[in-house]
């Protein structure tokens, strides 16, 4: 498998796993608080909606000329990836609270238990909409990543295989433990996804703009190394700055 | 109209996110890459450096507004 395709599968797998862990937390909260029938109905309806989005957009993307597609996809991934990376760096340096799946689960569960009863078409409406919205919103990010990565690299099936692998793993573990996957190193995974998205974004946007990478696909490794190194340096700088800020605040208090 | 606005807002939040300046600077950097590449000069180095600068600017803005 080429460097580009290996990165493609790995990125689709990681990004999908992160989103699926978050979707699982919401479905579990809906199921435990409002009953499994409504939660699974919401999960099923959202899955159908996502499948329709993939079926409609997937073939449409394959008819766009590759250079134009890489320019648009690269620019989108770059903006999208920088959002992930910025949040990950802020979390790693202490400027933003770490993502806590247990706390999110407890909050969703409390809200779901406190909501009033409203039954429509035989299902609990709150549980249905909670699971539907959660899976749809997290799933849209998976669809976006799979379609953009897959089409720009010329292989939507490979990207879909990475996402399917994540689905099997997260769903399997979720069914086995029936609890939010708090032990998953989610913050580290989000950092990795931000690095991957930004790397692919730089690579494809530059190609789409007419630049030639020395070494072709193999230069993806160089871009990844540059993004990783730069991000780690930024984390280090900001962490030191944060520590100084806290120390100064302590001394003043 | 409010549904249309909500739809637009969703996609804005989804793609652009918290800092619109990132999108503007990325678009400018890609434009600069295209101009340099069109002049038959090696342009591959421009975008990685620009991204590092954009990330730094965006992080400073996030920290200032926190």
For the entire predicted model, the pTM comes to 0.81
Q: How far apart are CA A154 and CA A5, in angstroms?
A: 9
pLDDT at A1: 67
Residue A101: name the closest of A209, A12, A22, A196 by CA.
A22
Q: What is the mean pLDDT of each run of 10 residues along chain A (253 residues)?
A: 81 88 87 87 92 84 82 91 92 84 80 77 85 90 86 84 90 79 76 91 94 89 95 95 89 82
Subunit contact B47:A79, Cβ cutoff 8 A: no
Q: Which chain B residue shows the shortest CA-CA distance from A230? A: B52
Choose between B63 and A177: higher pLDDT: B63
The string of pLDDT tens digits covering residues B14-62 is 778 888 999 999 999 999 999 999 999 999 999 999 999 999 999 999 9
pLDDT at A112: 78
User: What long-range pairs does B15-24 form, CB within 8 A, spacing at least 24?
Assistant: B15/A76, B15/A79, B15/A80, B16/A79, B17/A79, B17/A80, B17/A83, B18/A83, B18/B62, B19/A83, B19/A86, B19/B58, B19/B61, B19/B62, B21/B57, B21/B58, B21/B61, B22/A79, B22/A82, B22/A83, B22/A86, B22/B54, B22/B58, B23/A79
**β-bridge partners, A124:** A119
Which residues of chain A have a CB within 8 Å of the CB of B13? none
pLDDT at A182: 66
- Select the residue of B38, B43, B55 nearest A234 (Cβ to Cβ): B55
Q: How far apart are CA A17 and CA A14, in angstroms?
A: 5
Q: Are A158 and A8 in contact (CB under 8 A)?
A: yes
Which residues of chain B have a CB within 8 Å of the CB of A89? 55, 59
Say yes or no to pLDDT of B1 above 70.
no
Q: How far apart are CA B31 and CA B50, in angstroms?
A: 11
Q: Any CB–CB contact under 8 A between A76 and chain B?
A: yes
Best to test chain A binding among B21, B31, B33, B65 (most A CBs inside 10 Å): B33
Which residues of chain A have a CB within 8 Å of the CB of B30? 71, 74-75, 78, 205-206, 208-209
């Amino acid at each position: 498998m080429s460097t580009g395709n290996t990165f493609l599968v790995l990125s689709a797998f990681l990004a999908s796993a992160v989103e699926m862990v978050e979707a699982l937390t919401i479905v579990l909260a809906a199921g435990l608080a409002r009953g499994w029938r409504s939660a699974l109905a919401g999960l099923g309806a959202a899955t159908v909606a996502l499948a329709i989005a993939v079926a409609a957009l997937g073939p449409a993307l394959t008819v766009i000329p590759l250079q134009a597609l890489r320019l648009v996809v690269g620019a989108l991934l770059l903006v999208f990836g920088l959002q992930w990376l910025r949040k990950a760096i802020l979390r790693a340096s202490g400027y933003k609270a770490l993502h806590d799946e247990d706390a999110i689960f407890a909050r969703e569960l409390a809200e779901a238990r406190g909501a009033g009863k409203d039954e429509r078409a035989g299902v609990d409406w709150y549980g249905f909409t909670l699971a539907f919205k959660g899976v749809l919103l997290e799933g849209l990010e998976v669809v976006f990543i799979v379609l953009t990565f897959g089409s720009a690299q010329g292989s939507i099936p490979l990207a879909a295989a990475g996402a399917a692998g994540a689905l099997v793993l997260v769903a399997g573990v979720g069914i086995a433990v029936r609890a939010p996957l708090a032990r998953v190193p989610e913050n580290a995974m989000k950092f990795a996804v931000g690095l991957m998205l930004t790397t692919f974004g730089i690579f494809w946007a530059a190609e789409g703009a007419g630049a030639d990478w020395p070494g072709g696909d193999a230069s993806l490794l160089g871009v990844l190394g540059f993004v990783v190194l730069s991000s780690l340096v930024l984390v280090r700088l900001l962490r030191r700055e944060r520590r100084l800020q806290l120390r100064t605040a302590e001394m003043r208090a | 109209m409010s549904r249309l606005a909500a739809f637009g807002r969703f996609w804005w939040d989804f793609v652009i996110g918290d800092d619109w300046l990132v999108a503007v600077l990325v678009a400018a950097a890609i434009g600069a890459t295209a101009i340099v590449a069109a002049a038959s000069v090696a342009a591959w180095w421009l975008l990685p450096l620009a991204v590092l600068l954009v990330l730094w600017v965006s992080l400073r803005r996030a920290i200032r507004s926190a």
